[in-house]
Amino acid sequence: MPRANIQLDRQAVIAPVRRRLFGSFVEHLGRCVYTGIYEPEHPSANEDGFRMDVVELVRELGSTTLRYPGGNFVSGFRWEDSVGPRDKRPVRRDLAWHSLESNQFGLDEFARWLKLTDSELMLAVNIATRGILPALDLLEYANHPSGTTLSDLRIANGSPEPHNVRMWCLGNEMDGPWQTGFMTADDYGKLAGRTAAAMKAADKDLELVACGSSGSGMPTFGDWERTVLEHAYDHVDYISCHAYYQEHDGDLGSFLASALDMDHFIDTVVATADHVGYKRRSSKKINISFDEWNIWYLEEHQASQEVNTEWRHAPRQLEDVYTVADAVVVGNLLMTLLKHSDRVTSASLAQLVNVLAPIMTEPGGPAWRQTTFYPFSITSRLASGEVIQPVIEAPVYDTARHGEAPVVDAVATVDEDRAAVFLVNRDLEEPAQITIDVRGLGSSQIAEAITLADSDVYAKNTLAEQDRVTPAANTSAALADGVLTIELPPVSWTAIALH
């Protein structure tokens, strides 16, 4: 049985717990919006057509910030299409996902939906095929109180109060040749810098996100970030990171260690951003918005026929059904984001409903939790105060993709009257015996110990078996004389709350 020793000291603070780390993402893609969050004919729908069964699950999930409306979708989007009387909204072709967009759900509807879920809006602007003036128009429509043409149009459209959007994404994945209007780093950096400067002339307190690389495997990774920030550094606040993971060729051991790749990705982008800052003699720090991250079985989707020559409304696309192993990796990736909360101050699990999502729905039918729902919702609920850097002594194993990886990973959070410890056991066969010294936290009682695991690491929750996989109390947890012991099943994710 693998054994690991962990020491926790409340003085070993990384940074505060950033509530925006628990963000998610709603894109006009597949069934994320239509028959996901919006289905007027559904039995649970309210007067706006919002599925209230989904609203309740989103509230339980604990998502804080919702990035909208894309994603690749935004690079062909005309925001004006999505506001005003529905019977006058045009139907458009979406080149990103080869589907039809009805525009029956738009900015004002989404803002109303967000109030039901207690979430903050993070809005993306299309500078790929449009540019600076439409971005300024959208800013005026969304945020100006009244007395201008576009703010008064918002009021006439039924939203008397400004949406007060603070975070704005300057396009999406502009380095990707799949992106409508993709650009070189030099061209994008200049445009992003000019757009950001104009938007901050309207509101100096906006928080603006420049596009980083679409992934660390892009051939321009690193150089893209450097070039973009050399143009836009003075006007933006964030550079974005995107990363998706999946199990390749049955290599579960490497997949379970995916957090090591995310860790290296973050360190590289931070170093690049700081390099630009040092060159500019700037005291300003650019933070990271990790505004797309998740498990995505991209290879399988690329081999499928779900994107074809037809133009369809809300086709079923990218509806991955997640396993226990997927959920363990999602929990571990979220732990890694917490460990980097000094510089990663915003993140978005991509996406929220149906598309690579923790929540699934059936048109006219139920909504249910995927396996990945649980580590996200539990971490969002328990993590508070400050993130603590643990000292971990654990055995390692070899992976084909990431080199040596610790069998056990952990992170902790602590505030005045409670603490939380999050753990993964990556061992494929054996449980792990964990000893945690919590004397430095001042904790004296276990309030909750819960583990997500299953004898079948590929077990899933489906329409037919919606609760096949759920977390369970870990009865092995014990606390005596400031030492916490617990046994972690193989391929498992665990959360412990302490008082």
Residues taking part in catalysis? 173, 292
Q: What gap in Å lies between CA 166 and CA 286, rounded to an integer?
A: 16
Using an 8 Å Cβ cutoff, are 129 and 65 in contact?
no
Q: In this structure, what are the phi and psi dihedrals at residue 95, rounded to the nearest 5 degrees?
A: -70, -25
Measuring CA to CA, which residue among 427, 450, 445, 430 is closest to residue 484? 445
Q: What gap in Å lies between CA 339 and CA 140, rounded to an integer?
A: 37
Q: What gap in Å lies between CA 437 and CA 10, rounded to an integer?
A: 11
In the chain, % helix, strand, coil (3-state, to 5) comes to 30, 30, 45
Cα-Cα-Cα-Cα dihedral of 268, 273, 274, 275, to 10°? 90
Residue with tokens 């699950």: 57
Tell me 31's DSSP state: T
Using an 8 Å Cβ cutoff, are 36 and 54 in contact?
yes
Residue with tokens 């999502």: 357
**First-residue to last-residue Cα distance in the chain:** 29
The dihedral through the CA atoms of 243, 249, 254, 255 has a sign that is positive
Element (H, E) at 56: helix 52-61
